Amino acid sequence: MDAPSELGDFLKSRRAALRPEDVGITPHPTRRRVTGLRREELAMLATVSITHYTRLEQGRVTSASDGLLEALARTLRLTDDETAHLKDLARPAAASSRPVPPRVAHASASARQLLAAMTDIPALIMDRRNDVLAWNQLGHALLAGHLAPDSPDTPATRPNLTWMLFLDEQYRELYTDWNDQAQLAVASLRQVAGRHPDDRSLAELVGQLTMNCAEFASRWARHPVRTCTSGVKHLHHPLVGAIELSFENLVIPSASGQRLIAYTAEPGSPSEAALRLLGSATTPMAQEMTNAI
C-alpha cells in the first residue's frame, strides 16, 4: 500500500469530518464550498505552516516530528487509535529494495495443542490479516460449520474472517448486528494496514474486497480506525439460535502478528447452555448419527 497516499486520504477524511463551528470558526455563508476544515484553517489551528502541512498531506514530507503529529491529532480531535494510526502512516517502515514475497503463516504445534485442549471454549488462531490458521472443534462449529474442518490447513482454502463477513452469506447471517461488526472489521483492518504498508497479501485482500463488495469499498474509503482486542459478539446460530459471547484477543509472542481468540458465555446464561448444546451436537458421534439419518 502507498503510505503517503494513505496518509493524505486519512488527513482529508478527518478534515472533512470536523466542522468549522466545532473549532470556533464562523464560516462565510456564500464563499464556502466545503463543509469540513480547509487546509489553511487546520494549519492555523495546529500552529503549523500551511506549506508544511500541504506537503505532509501530499506525501512529500519524509519525516514528521512528534510535536507536529500530536498538534494535528489534537486539532482534528483524533482518538488514541487514530493518533497511533496517523503516526504509523507518517513514518512508514523502510521498505526493502527488493519485493518480499508473501510469507505463508502457520500455527505452531504447541498452539494447535492448546486449541485442542480447550474443549468447552470456541477458539481459533488468526494472523494479522484475519486468516484462520487453526481452530478447535467448537470454534469451527460456531463460526464456519459450513466449511471443511481442515480448511485452515491449506493456504488455498484458508478462511479469512473479514472476507467472509462481507462475501460469505452463511457467515454474514450469523451476526445480528452485522453493520456494527462490518464497521469494526474495516476499522481494525485499517489499523493493521497502517502498521504494515508493505504487506502484499494484505493489499491483495483489500483489493479483492474493494473490487467485489461495494459495502466494503464504501466503508474503507471513509478510513475508520480502531483497535479491537475484546468485546461481545451477538450471533444467531443455525443450530442453537441466539447466543451472546464475550471474546478476547490474546497475542502469541513467538509468532509475528498471530493471536488466539477465545469466546466465552456468561456462566448460567442461555448462551452457555446453547454453547454446550452446540458442542454436543458437533461431536464426531453426533455427526455420524446425523449423517446416517
pLDDT digits (tens, 9 = 90+) for 248-276: 999 988 767 899 999 999 999 999 999 99
pLDDT of 282: 75
Shared domain for 143 and 71, answered yes or no, is: no
Looking at the structure, tell me whether residues 132 and 254 fall in a common domain. yes
Query: Residue 104 domain-assigned?
Result: no
pLDDT on residue 196: 87
Say which CATH number the domain at 75 has: 1.10.260.40
Structural domain of residue 59, as residue ranges?
Answer: 3-90
Q: pLDDT of 61-91, one tens digit each?
A: 777 888 999 999 999 999 999 999 999 998 8
pTM of the model: 0.84
H or E stretch covering 71: helix 66-76
- Per the domain annotation, does 99 fall within a domain? no
User: Would you state the pLDDT for residue 100?
Assistant: 47
Within this chain, do residues 41 and 125 fall inside the same structural domain, yes or no? no
Alpha carbon distances (Å) from 148 to 83, 134, 143, 154, 262 = 40, 12, 12, 11, 20
Backbone phi, psi, residue 124, to 5°: -155, 165
pLDDT at 25: 75
Q: What is the pLDDT of residue 29?
A: 59
Specify whether 120 is located in the same domain as 85: no
pLDDT attached to residue 12: 93
Let me know if residue 71 belongs to a domain.
yes
Residues of the chain predicted below pLDDT 70: 1-4, 26-34, 93-104, 255, 283-293
